[in-house]
């Protein structure tokens, strides 16, 4: 397609506009359609064709019929492609072109144009341009309220996105105000137990936690938890995440017993669903071990999976050791400081060093063999004369002794 498009373009572009637009339509059909789940093969293929898309669009962009719906869809698709692969500047360029085409016939408040505005706001948000993102989300919101209504799920989703940005900026009070606005609409339209509604409740709890209003955070986490348990079940990962968030809030309040109780529930749930040695399960074990007055016995699962000398295990051990020292439990702390290496072998770093040493040793042996062959050739032909001969022999002997010493070190 790339080669065909280049060959078909002649110095007279007006005669080729139809072919140019057809080439653009075909090349954009090669990319993934938004809304469908991408497979690994789709992702790799899309990445492979992107250079060809760049080449074709470079030759065709000035001749595209922007008023053509298929062309607008192609521009929007390319914006989505570049956004997926992290090319934010190019994504914005194609979204802007699509928006210009979509606004012309129907105005700025048609749904296609509003969808493009939302995507552009998402690009700005990803780039960390929060003020600009809020402005574009605000434009989209005004259009959605006009076209869809203030309580339409899409409108409410935009409100929550703006609230999330405000929270990221540290504007917690404004974030709560906007989350509250979105929540009121979701409860009315979707119901109190709808996942989108519960996600907003969880977000509000997180804002309170960020403000260090732990009592308020626990109240809202509890509300979300009740909904998740009823909707998803007690051992669902989302439910257990909320339980963990509550445990963190209790831990920050110094209520270690309540924190341990909730952490125990999370640990039991993750062991049941993921297994005792799953990294997510062991992460909870690490957090349990970090709670004051907890002996840290939960480190055993981490040791079993990745070994005592693994950095993750050592991190947990270090955390428990510091807690023992802070609570003047010197015997427990000293036992951890003098803890011997596990019988499962050397650490990852130690194994790497051993492998590197063996490779260096093999290299030295090869060099020695080559040097001996070279010396034999030189001596047999009489190419060196005294005193150069004696110096060369001394260097070979010294190098040979060095290699022998390295072999002995590796064997020991």
pLDDT band at 65 (very low <50, low <70, confident <90, very high): low
Least confident of 5-14, 111-120, 226-235, 296-305: 296-305
Question: Quick check: 349 pLDDT over 60?
Answer: no
On whether the CB atoms of residues 265 and 230 are closer than 8 A, the answer is: no
Query: Using the 8-state DSSP alphabet, how is residue 339 labeled?
Result: P
> pLDDT, tens digit, for every residue of 178-198?
999 999 999 999 999 999 999
Question: Quick check: 158 pLDDT over 60?
Answer: yes
- C-alpha closest to that of 102 among 92, 89, 93, 111: 111
On whether the CB atoms of residues 288 and 294 are closer than 8 A, the answer is: yes
* Crossing angle of helices 279-289 and 299-306, rounded to 10°: 140
Peptide bond into 387 cis (omega under 30): yes
CA distance 302 to 316: 9
Any residues with CB less than 8 A from the CB of 354 and at least 6 apart, and which? Answer: 346
Question: Quick check: 366 pLDDT over 90?
Answer: no
Instruction: Give me 182's structure tokens.
Output: 């979105």
- C-alpha closest to that of 262 among 280, 288, 244, 276: 244
In this prediction the pTM is 0.61
pLDDT band at 294 (very low <50, low <70, confident <90, very high): low
CA 54 to chain centre: 26
Mean pLDDT (whole number) for 389-401: 67
Instruction: Give me 177's structure tokens.
Output: 């105000």
Any residues with CB less than 8 A from the CB of 270 and at least 6 apart, and which? Answer: 240, 278, 280, 281, 284
Instruction: Give me 287's structure tokens.
Output: 């957090």
Least confident of 86-100, 166-180, 182-196: 86-100
pLDDT of 306 reads 44
Least confident of 33-37, 71-75, 90-94: 33-37
285-290: long-range contacts (C-beta < 8 A, 24 or more apart)? 285/316, 286/312, 286/315, 286/316, 286/319, 287/244, 287/247, 287/248, 287/263, 288/260, 288/263, 288/264, 289/316, 289/319, 289/320, 290/319, 290/320, 290/323
């Amino acid at each position: 397609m790339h080669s065909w498009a280049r060959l078909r373009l002649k110095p007279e572009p007006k005669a080729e506009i139809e072919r140019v637009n057809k080439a653009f339509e075909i090349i954009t059909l090669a990319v993934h359609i938004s809304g469908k789940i991408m497979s690994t093969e789709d992702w790799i293929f899309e990445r492979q064709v992107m250079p060809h898309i760049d080449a074709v669009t470079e030759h065709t962009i000035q001749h595209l019929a922007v008023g053509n719906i298929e062309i607008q869809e192609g521009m929007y698709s390319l914006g989505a492609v570049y956004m997926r692969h992290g090319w934010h500047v190019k994504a914005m360029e194609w979204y802007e072109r699509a928006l210009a085409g979509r606004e012309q016939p129907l105005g700025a408040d048609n749904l296609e144009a509003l969808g493009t505005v939302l995507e552009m706001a998402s690009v700005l948000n990803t780039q960390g341009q929060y003020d600009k993102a809020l402005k574009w989300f605000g434009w989209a919101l005004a259009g959605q309220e006009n076209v869809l209504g203030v309580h339409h799920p899409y409108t409410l989703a935009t409100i929550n996105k703006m609230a999330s940005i405000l929270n990221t900026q540290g504007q917690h009070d404004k974030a709560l105000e906007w989350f509250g606005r979105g929540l009121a609409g979701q409860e009315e339209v979707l119901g109190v137990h709808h996942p989108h509604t519960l996600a907003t409740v969880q977000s509000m709890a997180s804002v309170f936690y960020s403000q260090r209003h732990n009592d308020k955070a626990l109240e809202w986490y509890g509300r979300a938890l009740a909904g998740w348990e009823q909707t998803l079940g007690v051992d669902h990962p989302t439910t257990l995440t909320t339980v963990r968030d509550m445990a963190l809030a209790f831990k920050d309040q110094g209520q270690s017993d309540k924190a341990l109780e909730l952490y125990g529930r999370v640990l039991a749930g993750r062991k049941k669903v993921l297994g005792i040695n799953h990294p997510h399960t062991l992460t909870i074990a690490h957090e349990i071990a970090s709670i004051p007055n907890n002996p840290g016995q939960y480190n055993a699962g981490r040791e079993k999976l990745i070994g005592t000398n693994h950095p993750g295990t050592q991190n947990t051990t270090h955390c428990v050791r510091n807690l023992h020292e802070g609570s003047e439990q010197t015997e427990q702390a000293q036992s951890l400081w003098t803890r011997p290496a596990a019988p499962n072998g050397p650490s990852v770093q130690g194994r790497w060093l051993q492998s590197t040493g063996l490779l260096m040793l093999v290299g030295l042996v090869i060099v020695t063999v080559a040097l001996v062959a070279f010396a034999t050739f030189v001596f047999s032909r009489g190419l060196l004369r005294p005193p150069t001969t004696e110096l060369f022999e001394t260097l070979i002997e010294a190098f040979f002794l060095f290699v022998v010493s390295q072999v002995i070190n590796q064997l020991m």
